[in-house]
Structure 1
Amino acid sequence: MTALVRRAAAEGIGTAFLVAAVVGSGIMASRLSPGDVGLQLLQNSIATGAVLVALILALRPVSAAFNPVVTLVEWALRALPGRDAAVLVAVQVVGGCVGAVVANLMFDLPAVSVAATARTGSGTWLAEVVATLGLVLVVFGSLRSSRPETVAFAVGGYIAAAYWFTSSTSFANPAVTVARTLSDTFAGIAPASVPMFLLAQLVGGALALGLVRLLLPTPTEVIA
């Protein structure tokens, strides 16, 4: 089995589990705490942060980006060949969609239900820029620290916190964003809201790339 096949499998599986956790915990939260949106968000954020820690710890020996923006930054830093980056991004998106479908089915919902929750507005778009920028800095800053093994805890903690300090609840991930259109539940996002989310995430990633080059000028360690 080639290294790229192994990496693609890890990225697909990891992104699928990540989205299943985001969507599934949102459904569970809305059922256990109906009418209390704050408590639902708390439950959703804790589950998402925790699963990120677990997945990164388990899959980092192979590949553990689970995020097209992170993969594209790796490519821009010449830590990943262009062909490999394209394959991994595609697999992340497919894996995320599979995770959303599985989450729906686990809760006896239709396999696919197009989300109707509109998430729009300049504040929300700015929040996605900030959330993505911060995530990329946390990822690559942790990896260039003296203890790169802490990246899992740094990323999980950051995302759990960013659910609360960003008005968008920190999607910060194009694959997760696309996948969440397939579930008309607590974590869903209407397809019409997706293009601006993706643009904001790419802008955040580009800004983070500049800061990584400024603050971390040595060759960046890949996360696989």
Structure 2
Amino acid sequence: MFSIHFGKTICADGGGNQLYEAFEGTDKQQMYIPHYIRGDLDSLRDDVKDFYISKGAEVERDPDQNSTDFMKCIELVRRKERESSVKHEIVALGTFGGRVDQAMSNIHYLYKLKNERRIYLLSDQNMTILLDKGKHQIHCNQAIEGPSCGIIPIGIERAIVTTTGLEWNLTNSSTSFGEMISTSNHLTNDIVMIETDSPILWTVELKI
């Protein structure tokens, strides 16, 4: 499931089941109704579909087997953007914690769409974004973020990285798989500065 533009929500197929089950039997189930459910709908339960339709959700089936349900939802966002001429950032929930190949697919879309929009991947433990090459100032709310964080040079041969605001800062450090990557680092400041010569992942622990 992910959110666009002030709380607009889209469930990717079986994400509708997860949202339904998270609030089943509680008053909150009436509060958290997605605006759309989209995918090939091979996972969405009929009772869940009927419930959300009765509450005003729009359910769209896209049978294309050459795109993931996540990408089908991205296409829906693009379509709505063409209608409104407004570009949205995306917060995607539940993107980690299940199958590794699905998690890697979600990371893949950070790279694939990096020139189009910012996407935030969230689980109940982490928030992950892609930082393109250049200098970045990251504002952290340590009440809900950290202390653990990491800088991951995935999808590239290596990245030269310099940081401030971390317990173990990097200074023109070469990071790559098989050599050195910065994981289990810690926030020491509300502002983290990162400079990189290649796209990297920034991931930070969430306390929610």
TM-score class, shorter: under 0.3
Structure of higher CA gyration radius: 2
Normalised by the length of structure 1, the TM-score is 0.23
Specify which structure has the bigger relative contact order, considering alpha-carbon pairs within 8 angstroms and separated by 6 or more residues: 1
Higher helix share: 1
More strand by share: 2
